[in-house]
Chain A
Amino acid sequence: MRLEVEITGKTYESAAGGTHEVLSPMKLALQSGEVGVLIGPSGCGKSTMLRIILGLDRDFEGHVARPPEARIGMVFQEPRLLPWRSVEQNIRLAAPNASDAKLSELFKILELEAHRSHFPGELSLGLARRVALARAFAVEPDLLVLDEPLASLDDALAGRLRDEIATLVASRPVMTLLVTHSLDDAIRLGDRLFFLSPRPARIVQEVPVTIPRAERSEAELARIKAELAVLPLESK
């Protein structure tokens, strides 16, 4: 499977009138098994890009080629859980085909076992985010889209979840698109880093990370970081 995005322009009309350019022309492609990372300043149009890629926003110029049968797993910036359904129901509604064993495994990994029957209103934001991750993983997606999934989690948990994402990505041929502010997350998870400019966003630089994810030692990561530091990236 392959995702190809070619956006030639995206504008929106503000309530006060006047047209604003949100996205500049850009092109990106992703293969199965690859993790693409979008890194850019706040408000640069990353979420708009994701909405276009997911097919939620059709009012743009350009073309998105996404296999029509591709299952999508998405972690939104806010958890977007159904407040009137329990944690388990929330996941089962999005992933009706997930087996009990699969769900139990996910609950265990994400430390949600004690919260299966809780309602989202009873969870902390950190827990709700983990439920949103469990929901996205439970659908066994072909395209996994993560919009700052590790924000507002403590470092230890964020690290564990990052490893989980890496494991999932390794276990299935999934195309992953990650939006993050953290260069650290980007170089640990990403295969292609797309550095974006401030609004209207364009891709300033596309940096491939060639070492396989599992083999990236701390020394390698430090070296990649040093290399990135030299590049003239507006978004760092």
Chain B
Amino acid sequence: MLRLLSIVLLLAIWWIAALFVGGAKLPSPPAVLNVIIAEAASGALFLHLGATLARVALAFVLAMSVGSAIGYLMGRVKLADRLGDPWLILLLNLPALVVIVLAYVWAGLTEAAAIAAIAINKLPTAVVTLREGTRALDRSLDEMATVFAMPRWRAFRHVVLPQLAPYIAASARSGLSLVWKIVLVAELLGRPNGVGFEIGVAFQLFDTPRLLAYSLTFAAVVLVIETALVQPFEARATRWRPRAA
């Protein structure tokens, strides 16, 4: 309820600001809504949103699975940590733009290059978070699993994974927001469709209503996915914990 109120407040501020600034620079909410409806009617909106979401999904899954596996390994094996750490620091501090441009230069303006570039941007944060989670694993529970001769997979699933779940959820949360941001840049620079491409077109034409139409729809989709998917997962992963007051 409070959330809804805060969104209404945002819309009100926007509308008032639009009245002062005027049409071309900041169109009013109904003007933007008209563009959204027109784009939706023509099907272009769904095509571009779909293309962007597919890239997000692929890059996110790729980065999370590979990053979690590397992070777990680095948290468990000292040698892997020593070897991987310099790479990790390099990747963490490499600007997204550099990775994207290099990917396009080396692999051509292809879908694979775009997805790989997005995934590589997200990868190091997943590694860092999961490495921390792995380092924080409770040794005494490991010992318990060893003494009771739990098979590896059962111990991993019931002893290790629940301890990592909050870290995976946190990494998914921050990772998704990172991917949302980077995917548009990758599309702007080298894809013929997607929300980022459309925003690039709107920028070249200084078409603010179109720019806002695409970015707001995109933001709405992000919000829905965050509340419908990420937050329930986070709540489930931590349900055994006593509730914060």
Contact = CB atoms under 8 A, between A and B. Distances in A.
Interface string A15-45: 0000000000000000000000000000000
A106 to B, nearest CB: 15
B106 interface: no
Interface residues of B, number: 16
Contact of B149 (A71, A84, A119, A135): A71
B117 to A, nearest CB: 37
A81 to B, nearest CB: 8
Interface string B124-168: 000000000000000011011011111000100011001000000
A135 B150 CA distance: 13
Nearest to A141: B148
B162 A74 contact: no
A80 B144 contact: yes
A56 interface: yes
Nearest to B159: A82
A78 interface: yes
Contacts of A145: 147
Contacts of B240: 83-85, 119, 121
A73 B141 CA distance: 14
B149 A74 contact: no
Interface in A47-78: 51, 54-56, 71-74, 76, 78
A2 B189 CA distance: 72
A168 interface: no
A72 B158 contact: no
A36 to B, nearest CB: 18
Interface in B50-64: none
Contacts, number: 48
Interface residues of A, number: 24
Given A72-B148, A94-B150, A119-B240, A78 B140 contact: yes
A37 to B, nearest CB: 20
B161 to A, nearest CB: 9
Nearest to B140: A80
Nearest to A57: B143
B149 A72 contact: yes
A72 B147 CA distance: 6
Contacts of B159: 82
Contacts of A94: 144, 148, 150
A85 B158 contact: yes
A139 interface: yes
B242 interface: yes
A228 interface: no
Contacts of B144: 74, 76, 80, 94
A56 B242 contact: no
Interface string A80-96: 10111100010001110
A56 to B, nearest CB: 5
A85 B150 CA distance: 15
Nearest to B240: A84
Contacts of B162: 82, 84-85
A145 B146 CA distance: 14
Nearest to A138: B148
A84 B146 CA distance: 18
Given A55-B146, A80-B144, A94-B144, 15 more contacts: A54-B147, A56-B146, A56-B147, A72-B147, A72-B148, A74-B147, A76-B143, A80-B140, A82-B141, A82-B158, A82-B162, A83-B240, A84-B162, A84-B240, A94-B148
Interface of A: 51, 54-56, 71-74, 76, 78, 80, 82-85, 89, 93-95, 119, 121, 135, 139, 145
12 contacts: A54-B147, A56-B146, A56-B147, A71-B149, A72-B147, A72-B148, A72-B149, A80-B143, A82-B158, A83-B241, A84-B240, A121-B240
Leading 6 A-B pairs by shortest Cβ distance: A84-B162, A84-B240, A94-B148, A80-B144, A74-B147, A119-B240
